[in-house]
Amino acid sequence: MNPEVKPDFLISPEGLRIDGRRPDEMRPIELKVGVLKQADGSASIRQGKTYIIAGVYGPRELHPRHLTLNDRAYLRVVYRMATFSVPDRKRPAPSRREREISMVIANSLKPALFLEEFPKAVVDVFIQVIQADGGTRCAAINAASLALADAGIPMRGLIPSVAVGKADGKLLVDLGDEEDKYGQGDVPMAIIPQTEEITLLQQDGSFTKEELVEAMRMGINSCKYLHELQKEALKRTYVKKPGEEGDDDYEDDLETDLGEAELMEGE
């Protein structure tokens, strides 16, 4: 057991954070697409020690039927934390917090999706937090958006998300767990990068108007960085390198070259 101890300071005299990051520096991020065999689309994210997997199923028939929407698909998001994802064992029953975060994530993703293309159907997004170390709702949005793209759900664009918080009076991007627990608040946000439309904006703690404007500026910058990582993760899965198995153009070219070589030999 490793009892948590409140750190003496969250910002060092040199202006660095407890894990050595600069205020505007995100944690190391690793995104993977297509991590689940059974799902129609899936993705995982490691953001610092936070580790989350998202699986998308659908569009498919909706049960129970009374939830059916006649003009669009129902986006059903279920965010859950594994019992072992936090230092104290998390009770397995769905908590109020999990239900609220599920709703918040659904509302953040919906503006990017063409759900009207699948009336009466459901698109299920299951999010499992394997390890929680702060910022799980934002990391979950980053992974869920990629999983929806992997499932081929038509979308305006990917949704990146990050929280900007405040500790020792300084604005900090992408809070770790201790900064979240012992800091003065945070502002989780999500955007459609192409238009800078904001699809999620929450606030916990108090911020001045100037701080909020600056937090949003920092958050939008980080979201744009995250968006590049999301696009790279998709490309790694779908765009094959020349010569790699599955590169149809390359294989066609190869066949043509071989055919021509045989012809030349026969001449």
Binding site for ligand CDP (CB under 6 A): 86, 90, 97, 132-137, 177, 180
The nearest distance, CB 178 to ligand CDP, in angstroms, is 10
CB of 47 or CB of 57, closer to ligand CDP: 47
CB of 68 or CB of 202, closer to ligand CDP: 202
The nearest distance, CB 61 to ligand CDP, in angstroms, is 32
Helix (H, G, I), strand (E, B) or coil at 79: strand
The nearest distance, CB 49 to ligand CDP, in angstroms, is 9
The nearest distance, CB 163 to ligand CDP, in angstroms, is 6
Among the listed residues 106, 190, 194, the one whose alpha carbon sits nearest the alpha carbon of residue 148: 106
The nearest distance, CB 171 to ligand CDP, in angstroms, is 16
DSSP 90: P
Q: What is the dihedral of CA 213, 218, 221, 227, to 10 degrees?
A: -110
| Rounded distance between C-alpha atoms, residue 236 and residue 76, angstroms | 28
The nearest distance, CB 68 to ligand CDP, in angstroms, is 30
CB of 69 or CB of 86, closer to ligand CDP: 86
Helix (H, G, I), strand (E, B) or coil at 97: helix
Structure token pair of residue 208: 């001045």
CB of 34 or CB of 134, closer to ligand CDP: 134
CB of 127 or CB of 132, closer to ligand CDP: 132
Environment class of 218 (CB within 10 Å of its CB; exposed 0-12, middle 13-18, buried 19+) = buried
Structure token pair of residue 80: 């859950």
CB of 150 or CB of 180, closer to ligand CDP: 180
The nearest distance, CB 109 to ligand CDP, in angstroms, is 15
Please check whether residue 186 is in contact with residue 167, taking contact to mean a CB–CB distance below 8 angstroms: no
| Rounded distance between C-alpha atoms, residue 135 and residue 172, angstroms | 12
CB of 51 or CB of 118, closer to ligand CDP: 51
Residue 204: phi and psi, rounded to 5, are: -125, 125
Among the listed residues 124, 125, 123, 120, the one whose alpha carbon sits nearest the alpha carbon of residue 72: 120
CB of 3 or CB of 243, closer to ligand CDP: 3
Please check whether residue 197 is in contact with residue 190, taking contact to mean a CB–CB distance below 8 angstroms: no
The nearest distance, CB 88 to ligand CDP, in angstroms, is 7
